[in-house]
Structure 1
Protein backbone atom coordinates (compact mmCIF):
# COMPACT_ATOMS: atom_id res chain seq x y z
CA UNK A 1 0.00 0.00 0.00
CA UNK A 2 1.84 3.09 -1.28
CA UNK A 3 0.70 6.31 0.46
CA UNK A 4 1.98 8.54 -2.33
CA UNK A 5 -0.02 6.80 -5.09
CA UNK A 6 -2.56 9.20 -6.62
CA UNK A 7 -6.18 8.40 -5.83
CA UNK A 8 -8.37 7.18 -8.67
CA UNK A 9 -11.53 7.07 -6.50
CA UNK A 10 -12.75 8.36 -3.15
CA UNK A 11 -15.06 6.52 -0.74
CA UNK A 12 -16.75 8.37 2.10
CA UNK A 13 -18.29 7.04 5.24
CA UNK A 14 -21.27 9.25 6.11
CA UNK A 15 -21.97 9.67 9.83
CA UNK A 16 -19.13 11.56 11.47
CA UNK A 17 -17.43 11.99 8.10
CA UNK A 18 -19.76 13.82 5.72
CA UNK A 19 -21.53 15.34 8.72
CA UNK A 20 -20.41 15.78 12.34
CA UNK A 21 -23.39 14.05 13.94
CA UNK A 22 -22.18 11.23 16.16
CA UNK A 23 -23.20 12.94 19.41
CA UNK A 24 -26.79 12.88 18.17
CA UNK A 25 -26.56 9.17 17.45
CA UNK A 26 -25.19 8.67 20.98
CA UNK A 27 -28.10 10.65 22.43
CA UNK A 28 -30.58 8.49 20.52
CA UNK A 29 -28.82 5.26 21.51
CA UNK A 30 -28.77 6.28 25.17
CA UNK A 31 -32.53 6.94 25.11
CA UNK A 32 -33.16 3.66 23.31
CA UNK A 33 -31.04 1.60 25.71
CA UNK A 34 -32.75 3.15 28.72
CA UNK A 35 -36.19 2.49 27.24
CA UNK A 36 -35.33 -1.19 26.93
CA UNK A 37 -33.73 -1.41 30.37
CA UNK A 38 -30.26 -2.04 29.02
CA UNK A 39 -26.98 -0.60 30.35
CA UNK A 40 -25.35 2.02 28.14
CA UNK A 41 -21.66 2.93 28.22
CA UNK A 42 -21.60 6.22 26.35
CA UNK A 43 -17.84 6.73 26.61
CA UNK A 44 -17.08 3.60 24.60
CA UNK A 45 -20.24 2.88 22.62
CA UNK A 46 -19.48 4.71 19.36
CA UNK A 47 -15.86 3.55 19.31
CA UNK A 48 -17.01 -0.07 19.51
CA UNK A 49 -20.03 0.08 17.21
CA UNK A 50 -19.64 2.89 14.65
CA UNK A 51 -19.85 1.38 11.18
CA UNK A 52 -21.65 -1.79 12.23
CA UNK A 53 -25.09 -2.56 10.81
CA UNK A 54 -27.79 -1.76 13.35
CA UNK A 55 -28.96 -5.37 13.51
CA UNK A 56 -25.39 -6.35 14.41
CA UNK A 57 -25.49 -3.89 17.31
CA UNK A 58 -28.87 -4.75 18.81
CA UNK A 59 -29.10 -8.41 17.82
CA UNK A 60 -27.09 -9.74 20.79
CA UNK A 61 -29.52 -8.03 23.18
CA UNK A 62 -32.52 -9.83 21.62
CA UNK A 63 -31.30 -13.31 20.63
CA UNK A 64 -34.82 -14.56 19.95
CA UNK A 65 -35.81 -11.70 17.67
CA UNK A 66 -36.32 -12.30 13.96
CA UNK A 67 -35.18 -9.92 11.24
CA UNK A 68 -38.47 -8.01 11.20
CA UNK A 69 -38.36 -7.42 14.95
CA UNK A 70 -34.74 -6.28 14.80
CA UNK A 71 -35.67 -3.87 12.03
CA UNK A 72 -38.52 -2.48 14.15
CA UNK A 73 -36.25 -2.07 17.16
CA UNK A 74 -33.61 -0.41 15.05
CA UNK A 75 -36.08 2.02 13.54
CA UNK A 76 -37.08 3.11 17.05
CA UNK A 77 -33.56 4.35 17.59
CA UNK A 78 -33.15 5.84 14.11
CA UNK A 79 -36.39 7.78 14.46
CA UNK A 80 -35.10 9.38 17.65
CA UNK A 81 -31.88 10.35 15.87
CA UNK A 82 -33.62 11.85 12.83
CA UNK A 83 -35.98 13.87 14.99
CA UNK A 84 -33.09 15.56 16.81
CA UNK A 85 -30.47 15.90 14.06
CA UNK A 86 -32.79 16.58 11.12
CA UNK A 87 -32.98 20.36 11.64
CA UNK A 88 -29.20 20.61 12.13
CA UNK A 89 -27.73 18.84 9.08
CA UNK A 90 -24.54 20.54 7.85
CA UNK A 91 -21.45 19.26 6.02
CA UNK A 92 -18.04 18.96 7.65
CA UNK A 93 -15.96 22.03 6.79
CA UNK A 94 -14.19 21.78 3.45
CA UNK A 95 -16.16 18.76 2.24
CA UNK A 96 -17.91 20.44 -0.69
CA UNK A 97 -14.65 21.97 -1.91
CA UNK A 98 -13.03 18.52 -1.88
CA UNK A 99 -15.95 17.05 -3.81
CA UNK A 100 -15.61 19.86 -6.34
CA UNK A 101 -11.87 19.18 -6.74
CA UNK A 102 -12.45 15.48 -7.28
CA UNK A 103 -15.22 16.06 -9.79
CA UNK A 104 -13.06 18.53 -11.73
CA UNK A 105 -10.44 15.76 -12.04
CA UNK A 106 -13.09 13.18 -13.07
CA UNK A 107 -12.36 11.15 -9.92
CA UNK A 108 -15.43 9.03 -9.07
CA UNK A 109 -16.76 9.04 -5.53
CA UNK A 110 -18.90 6.70 -3.45
CA UNK A 111 -20.50 6.47 -0.03
CA UNK A 112 -20.08 3.35 2.10
CA UNK A 113 -22.18 3.69 5.23
CA UNK A 114 -23.93 1.50 7.77
CA UNK A 115 -26.81 3.99 7.88
CA UNK A 116 -30.28 2.82 6.78
CA UNK A 117 -31.88 4.42 3.68
CA UNK A 118 -33.94 7.05 5.58
CA UNK A 119 -30.80 8.30 7.33
CA UNK A 120 -28.91 8.37 4.05
CA UNK A 121 -31.72 10.41 2.53
CA UNK A 122 -31.71 12.80 5.49
CA UNK A 123 -28.04 13.64 4.97
CA UNK A 124 -27.42 13.36 1.25
CA UNK A 125 -30.71 14.84 0.08
CA UNK A 126 -30.80 17.64 2.64
CA UNK A 127 -27.31 18.64 1.51
CA UNK A 128 -28.07 17.99 -2.20
CA UNK A 129 -25.08 15.65 -2.41
CA UNK A 130 -26.61 12.43 -3.73
CA UNK A 131 -25.84 13.18 -7.37
CA UNK A 132 -22.18 13.69 -6.51
CA UNK A 133 -21.67 10.00 -5.83
CA UNK A 134 -21.39 7.24 -8.40
CA UNK A 135 -22.81 4.71 -5.93
CA UNK A 136 -24.03 4.40 -2.36
CA UNK A 137 -23.43 1.13 -0.51
CA UNK A 138 -25.07 0.11 2.78
CA UNK A 139 -26.13 -3.00 4.73
CA UNK A 140 -29.68 -2.52 3.41
CA UNK A 141 -28.30 -3.96 0.16
CA UNK A 142 -27.20 -7.15 1.90
CA UNK A 143 -23.65 -6.19 2.87
CA UNK A 144 -22.10 -6.80 6.27
CA UNK A 145 -21.22 -3.79 8.39
CA UNK A 146 -17.71 -2.64 9.21
CA UNK A 147 -15.05 -3.76 10.09
CA UNK A 148 -15.89 -6.20 7.29
CA UNK A 149 -14.57 -4.76 4.01
CA UNK A 150 -17.63 -5.73 1.97
CA UNK A 151 -19.11 -2.26 1.43
CA UNK A 152 -15.83 -0.66 0.41
CA UNK A 153 -14.96 -3.49 -1.96
CA UNK A 154 -18.41 -3.26 -3.55
CA UNK A 155 -18.01 0.50 -3.97
CA UNK A 156 -14.66 0.05 -5.71
CA UNK A 157 -16.07 -2.65 -7.97
CA UNK A 158 -19.06 -0.52 -8.94
CA UNK A 159 -16.74 2.39 -9.81
CA UNK A 160 -14.41 0.11 -11.76
CA UNK A 161 -11.38 1.06 -9.66
CA UNK A 162 -8.87 -1.24 -7.96
CA UNK A 163 -9.05 -1.16 -4.14
CA UNK A 164 -5.44 0.01 -3.87
CA UNK A 165 -6.34 3.09 -5.92
CA UNK A 166 -9.12 4.17 -3.53
CA UNK A 167 -8.88 6.48 -0.54
CA UNK A 168 -11.46 6.04 2.20
CA UNK A 169 -12.55 8.83 4.55
CA UNK A 170 -13.55 7.52 7.97
CA UNK A 171 -14.10 8.74 11.52
CA UNK A 172 -14.17 5.37 13.31
CA UNK A 173 -11.68 2.55 13.94
CA UNK A 174 -14.13 -0.03 12.55
CA UNK A 175 -14.23 1.89 9.28
CA UNK A 176 -10.47 2.32 9.04
CA UNK A 177 -10.09 -1.40 9.74
CA UNK A 178 -12.60 -2.17 6.98
CA UNK A 179 -10.53 -0.06 4.60
CA UNK A 180 -7.36 -1.86 5.71
CA UNK A 181 -8.95 -5.26 5.06
CA UNK A 182 -10.05 -4.01 1.64
CA UNK A 183 -6.47 -2.97 0.81
CA UNK A 184 -7.36 0.72 0.79
CA UNK A 185 -5.70 3.79 2.24
CA UNK A 186 -7.67 5.88 4.72
CA UNK A 187 -7.88 9.44 5.93
CA UNK A 188 -9.05 9.67 9.54
CA UNK A 189 -11.54 12.50 10.08
CA UNK A 190 -11.23 13.51 13.73
CA UNK A 191 -14.82 14.49 14.50
CA UNK A 192 -15.24 11.72 17.07
CA UNK A 193 -11.77 10.62 18.20
CA UNK A 194 -8.24 12.05 18.46
CA UNK A 195 -5.49 11.08 16.04
CA UNK A 196 -4.02 8.68 18.61
CA UNK A 197 -7.03 6.41 18.15
CA UNK A 198 -5.80 5.65 14.61
CA UNK A 199 -2.07 5.47 15.31
CA UNK A 200 -1.93 1.68 15.07
CA UNK A 201 -3.36 1.55 11.53
CA UNK A 202 -0.75 1.32 8.81
CA UNK A 203 -3.22 2.37 6.11
CA UNK A 204 -3.94 5.84 7.59
CA UNK A 205 -2.19 8.40 5.39
CA UNK A 206 -3.51 11.54 7.14
CA UNK A 207 -5.54 12.57 10.17
CA UNK A 208 -7.48 15.82 9.86
CA UNK A 209 -10.02 17.81 11.84
CA UNK A 210 -11.89 18.65 8.64
CA UNK A 211 -11.42 18.58 4.87
CA UNK A 212 -10.02 22.10 4.67
CA UNK A 213 -6.94 20.67 6.40
CA UNK A 214 -6.29 18.54 3.31
CA UNK A 215 -5.63 21.53 1.04
CA UNK A 216 -2.13 21.06 -0.31
CA UNK A 217 -1.62 17.81 1.61
CA UNK A 218 0.61 15.56 -0.56
CA UNK A 219 -1.15 12.47 0.84
CA UNK A 220 -4.22 13.34 -1.25
CA UNK A 221 -3.38 13.61 -4.93
CA UNK A 222 -5.57 12.68 -7.87
CA UNK A 223 -4.51 10.60 -10.84
Structure 2
Protein backbone atom coordinates (compact mmCIF):
# COMPACT_ATOMS: atom_id res chain seq x y z
CA UNK A 1 0.00 0.00 0.00
CA UNK A 2 1.30 3.46 -0.86
CA UNK A 3 1.63 5.93 1.99
CA UNK A 4 2.39 9.61 2.29
CA UNK A 5 4.14 11.52 5.05
CA UNK A 6 4.66 15.16 5.88
CA UNK A 7 8.42 14.64 5.55
CA UNK A 8 8.57 14.55 1.75
CA UNK A 9 10.43 15.57 -0.32
CA UNK A 10 13.68 14.17 1.06
CA UNK A 11 17.04 15.87 0.55
CA UNK A 12 19.02 12.59 0.47
CA UNK A 13 17.91 9.76 -1.82
CA UNK A 14 19.84 6.49 -1.46
CA UNK A 15 19.53 3.70 -4.02
CA UNK A 16 20.30 0.02 -3.98
CA UNK A 17 22.01 -1.03 -7.23
CA UNK A 18 21.02 -4.53 -8.39
CA UNK A 19 17.32 -4.81 -9.17
CA UNK A 20 16.81 -1.05 -8.79
CA UNK A 21 19.22 0.59 -11.23
CA UNK A 22 20.86 -2.43 -12.86
CA UNK A 23 18.93 -5.36 -14.35
CA UNK A 24 21.58 -7.85 -13.31
CA UNK A 25 19.71 -11.13 -12.95
CA UNK A 26 21.14 -12.59 -16.17
CA UNK A 27 24.64 -11.42 -15.23
CA UNK A 28 24.35 -13.17 -11.87
CA UNK A 29 23.01 -16.32 -13.51
CA UNK A 30 26.00 -16.45 -15.87
CA UNK A 31 28.40 -15.91 -12.97
CA UNK A 32 26.76 -18.63 -10.88
CA UNK A 33 26.96 -21.04 -13.82
CA UNK A 34 30.73 -20.48 -13.83
CA UNK A 35 30.82 -21.24 -10.11
CA UNK A 36 28.94 -24.50 -10.66
CA UNK A 37 31.12 -25.55 -13.59
CA UNK A 38 34.53 -24.59 -12.20
CA UNK A 39 34.05 -25.54 -8.55
CA UNK A 40 31.55 -28.36 -8.80
CA UNK A 41 28.93 -26.54 -6.72
CA UNK A 42 25.59 -28.30 -7.17
CA UNK A 43 23.38 -25.59 -5.68
CA UNK A 44 21.04 -24.13 -8.33
CA UNK A 45 21.06 -20.46 -9.24
CA UNK A 46 17.58 -19.98 -7.79
CA UNK A 47 18.90 -20.76 -4.30
CA UNK A 48 21.61 -18.13 -4.65
CA UNK A 49 19.26 -15.58 -6.20
CA UNK A 50 16.79 -15.87 -3.32
CA UNK A 51 19.47 -14.48 -0.99
CA UNK A 52 20.74 -11.52 -3.01
CA UNK A 53 20.95 -8.14 -1.34
CA UNK A 54 23.19 -9.38 1.45
CA UNK A 55 27.02 -9.35 1.46
CA UNK A 56 28.45 -12.28 -0.49
CA UNK A 57 30.03 -14.02 2.55
CA UNK A 58 26.69 -13.82 4.37
CA UNK A 59 24.93 -15.40 1.40
CA UNK A 60 27.46 -18.22 1.33
CA UNK A 61 26.97 -18.85 5.05
CA UNK A 62 23.18 -18.95 4.64
CA UNK A 63 23.60 -21.46 1.80
CA UNK A 64 25.94 -23.70 3.79
CA UNK A 65 28.93 -22.81 1.60
CA UNK A 66 30.99 -20.77 4.05
CA UNK A 67 33.89 -23.23 3.76
CA UNK A 68 34.25 -22.40 0.04
CA UNK A 69 33.16 -18.76 0.15
CA UNK A 70 36.51 -17.28 -0.90
CA UNK A 71 36.92 -19.46 -3.97
CA UNK A 72 33.28 -19.04 -4.95
CA UNK A 73 33.46 -15.27 -4.67
CA UNK A 74 36.61 -15.08 -6.81
CA UNK A 75 35.04 -17.11 -9.62
CA UNK A 76 31.73 -15.26 -9.34
CA UNK A 77 33.31 -11.79 -9.44
CA UNK A 78 35.52 -12.66 -12.41
CA UNK A 79 32.67 -14.11 -14.46
CA UNK A 80 30.32 -11.28 -13.51
CA UNK A 81 32.87 -8.60 -14.43
CA UNK A 82 33.45 -10.16 -17.85
CA UNK A 83 29.81 -9.69 -18.87
CA UNK A 84 28.95 -6.63 -16.80
CA UNK A 85 29.31 -4.29 -19.78
CA UNK A 86 26.42 -6.18 -21.41
CA UNK A 87 24.20 -5.92 -18.34
CA UNK A 88 21.45 -3.35 -18.94
CA UNK A 89 20.35 -0.47 -16.79
CA UNK A 90 16.57 -0.54 -16.39
CA UNK A 91 14.75 1.56 -18.97
CA UNK A 92 14.07 5.08 -17.74
CA UNK A 93 16.72 5.05 -15.00
CA UNK A 94 19.15 7.44 -16.72
CA UNK A 95 16.46 10.07 -17.24
CA UNK A 96 15.16 9.70 -13.70
CA UNK A 97 18.62 10.05 -12.15
CA UNK A 98 19.42 13.13 -14.23
CA UNK A 99 16.14 14.78 -13.27
CA UNK A 100 16.61 14.05 -9.57
CA UNK A 101 20.19 15.34 -9.66
CA UNK A 102 19.05 18.54 -11.39
CA UNK A 103 16.51 19.07 -8.59
CA UNK A 104 19.31 19.62 -6.08
CA UNK A 105 18.84 16.44 -4.06
CA UNK A 106 21.87 14.50 -2.91
CA UNK A 107 21.90 11.02 -4.44
CA UNK A 108 23.79 8.01 -3.17
CA UNK A 109 24.32 4.28 -3.65
CA UNK A 110 24.15 1.64 -0.90
CA UNK A 111 24.90 -1.79 -2.35
CA UNK A 112 26.23 -5.21 -1.39
CA UNK A 113 28.11 -5.39 -4.71
CA UNK A 114 31.89 -5.07 -4.34
CA UNK A 115 33.56 -1.74 -5.07
CA UNK A 116 35.27 -2.79 -8.32
CA UNK A 117 32.11 -4.00 -10.03
CA UNK A 118 30.08 -1.12 -8.61
CA UNK A 119 32.51 1.34 -10.20
CA UNK A 120 32.10 -0.39 -13.57
CA UNK A 121 28.34 0.16 -13.34
CA UNK A 122 28.46 3.73 -12.07
CA UNK A 123 30.83 4.75 -14.86
CA UNK A 124 27.97 4.08 -17.29
CA UNK A 125 25.46 6.34 -15.52
CA UNK A 126 24.89 9.99 -16.49
CA UNK A 127 25.51 11.49 -13.03
CA UNK A 128 27.88 11.33 -10.10
CA UNK A 129 26.79 10.40 -6.58
CA UNK A 130 27.34 12.22 -3.30
CA UNK A 131 28.15 8.95 -1.54
CA UNK A 132 28.74 5.35 -2.66
CA UNK A 133 28.65 2.63 -0.02
CA UNK A 134 30.00 -0.83 -0.86
CA UNK A 135 31.00 -3.61 1.57
CA UNK A 136 33.88 -2.56 3.81
CA UNK A 137 35.61 -3.69 6.98
CA UNK A 138 34.03 -2.49 10.19
CA UNK A 139 30.51 -2.14 8.79
CA UNK A 140 27.89 -4.86 8.77
CA UNK A 141 26.09 -5.45 5.49
CA UNK A 142 22.37 -5.26 4.87
CA UNK A 143 19.98 -5.96 6.53
CA UNK A 144 22.05 -4.22 9.23
CA UNK A 145 21.68 -0.42 9.02
CA UNK A 146 25.40 0.41 9.13
CA UNK A 147 25.90 1.48 5.51
CA UNK A 148 22.78 3.64 5.50
CA UNK A 149 23.84 5.32 8.73
CA UNK A 150 27.35 5.91 7.40
CA UNK A 151 25.98 7.35 4.15
CA UNK A 152 23.77 9.79 6.04
CA UNK A 153 26.67 10.86 8.23
CA UNK A 154 28.87 11.44 5.18
CA UNK A 155 26.15 13.63 3.63
CA UNK A 156 25.29 15.39 6.91
CA UNK A 157 21.61 14.44 6.60
CA UNK A 158 19.28 13.10 9.30
CA UNK A 159 17.24 9.89 8.89
CA UNK A 160 14.04 11.95 8.82
CA UNK A 161 15.26 13.66 5.65
CA UNK A 162 16.44 10.48 3.90
CA UNK A 163 14.74 7.84 1.77
CA UNK A 164 16.15 4.47 0.66
CA UNK A 165 15.06 2.91 -2.64
CA UNK A 166 15.33 -0.88 -2.78
CA UNK A 167 13.77 -4.12 -3.97
CA UNK A 168 14.66 -6.86 -1.47
CA UNK A 169 13.66 -7.76 2.09
CA UNK A 170 17.20 -6.93 3.21
CA UNK A 171 16.77 -3.39 1.85
CA UNK A 172 13.49 -2.86 3.67
CA UNK A 173 14.90 -4.24 6.93
CA UNK A 174 18.00 -2.04 6.70
CA UNK A 175 15.78 1.00 6.22
CA UNK A 176 13.65 0.10 9.23
CA UNK A 177 16.70 -0.34 11.43
CA UNK A 178 18.20 2.94 10.20
CA UNK A 179 14.82 4.65 10.79
CA UNK A 180 14.59 5.96 7.24
CA UNK A 181 11.63 5.78 4.88
CA UNK A 182 11.71 2.89 2.41
CA UNK A 183 10.43 3.02 -1.17
CA UNK A 184 10.06 -0.28 -3.02
CA UNK A 185 10.49 -0.71 -6.79
CA UNK A 186 8.13 -3.24 -8.31
CA UNK A 187 10.45 -3.81 -11.29
CA UNK A 188 13.03 -5.35 -8.96
CA UNK A 189 13.52 -8.89 -7.72
CA UNK A 190 11.84 -9.05 -4.31
CA UNK A 191 8.32 -8.91 -2.92
CA UNK A 192 6.85 -5.59 -1.83
CA UNK A 193 6.69 -5.19 1.98
CA UNK A 194 3.46 -3.98 3.52
CA UNK A 195 5.10 -1.07 5.33
CA UNK A 196 6.90 0.64 2.44
CA UNK A 197 6.31 4.37 2.07
CA UNK A 198 5.57 3.98 -1.63
CA UNK A 199 5.77 1.29 -4.32
CA UNK A 200 6.92 2.48 -7.74
CA UNK A 201 5.89 0.62 -10.87
CA UNK A 202 8.35 2.42 -13.18
CA UNK A 203 11.22 4.93 -12.86
CA UNK A 204 8.98 7.77 -14.05
CA UNK A 205 6.53 6.86 -11.29
CA UNK A 206 9.36 6.94 -8.74
CA UNK A 207 10.63 10.28 -10.03
CA UNK A 208 7.21 11.88 -9.70
CA UNK A 209 6.82 10.63 -6.15
CA UNK A 210 10.27 11.75 -5.01
CA UNK A 211 9.82 15.24 -6.43
CA UNK A 212 6.24 15.77 -5.24
TM-score range, shorter chain: 0.7 to 0.9
SS in 1 for 2:108: strand
State the partner residue of 1:119: 117
Of the three residues 18, 21, 34, the one matched with 1:18 is: 21
- Asked if 1:39 corresponds to 2:38, the answer is no
What's the TM-score, normalizing by structure 1? 0.80
Q: Which runs of 5+ in 2 are unaligned?
A: none
Task: Pick closer, same or farther for the CA change 1:71–1:36 going to 2, 3 Å.
Answer: closer
Task: Pick closer, same or farther for the CA change 1:84–1:100 going to 2, 3 Å.
Answer: closer
Of the three residues 136, 139, 142, the one matched with 1:143 is: 139
Cα deviation code 1:43-88 (max 9, x no counterpart): 35323x222111222254244x7xxxx54531210111122232x2
Distance in 1, matches of 2:15 and 2:147, equals: 11
Distance in 1, matches of 2:43 and 2:192, equals: 24
Could you tell which deviates more after superposition, 51-60 or 33-42? 33-42
Q: Kindly indicate whether the alpha-carbon contact (under 8 Å) linking 1:22 and 1:192 is maintained by their aligned counterparts in 2.
A: no
Could you tell which deviates more after superposition, 116-125 or 15-24? 15-24
Distance in 2, matches of 1:79 and 1:184, equals: 34
State the partner residue of 1:105: 103
SS in 2 for 1:198: coil
Offset at residue 15 of structure 1 (A): 1.3
State the partner residue of 1:210: 202
Offset at residue 215 of structure 1 (A): 4.5
Task: Pick closer, same or farther for the CA change 1:33–1:152 going to 2, 3 Å.
Answer: farther
Offset at residue 37 of structure 1 (A): 3.1
SS in 2 for 1:126: coil
Runs of 4+ in 1 over 4 A off after TM superposition: none
Offset at residue 141 of structure 1 (A): 4.9
Distance in 2, matches of 1:28 and 1:191, equals: 22
Offset at residue 120 of structure 1 (A): 0.8
Alignment length (residue pairs):
207
Cα deviation code 1:103-142 (max 9, x no counterpart): 233211111111112211210013354xx21111111354
Q: Kindly indicate whether the alpha-carbon contact (under 8 Å) linking 1:89 and 1:126 is maintained by their aligned counterparts in 2.
A: no
Distance in 2, matches of 1:41 and 1:3, equals: 42
TM-align CA RMSD:
2.5
SS in 2 for 1:140: coil
Q: Give 1:154-193 correspondences, 5 Å limit.
A: 154-193=150-189
Q: Kindly indicate whether the alpha-carbon contact (under 8 Å) linking 1:3 and 1:185 is maintained by their aligned counterparts in 2.
A: no
Q: Which runs of 5+ in 1 are unaligned?
A: none
Distance in 1, matches of 2:4 and 2:139, equals: 27
Task: Pick closer, same or farther for the CA change 1:85–1:104 going to 2, 3 Å.
Answer: closer
- Asked if 1:58 corresponds to 2:52, the answer is no
Could you tell which deviates more after superposition, 170-179 or 27-36? 27-36
- Asked if 1:84 corresponds to 2:83, the answer is yes
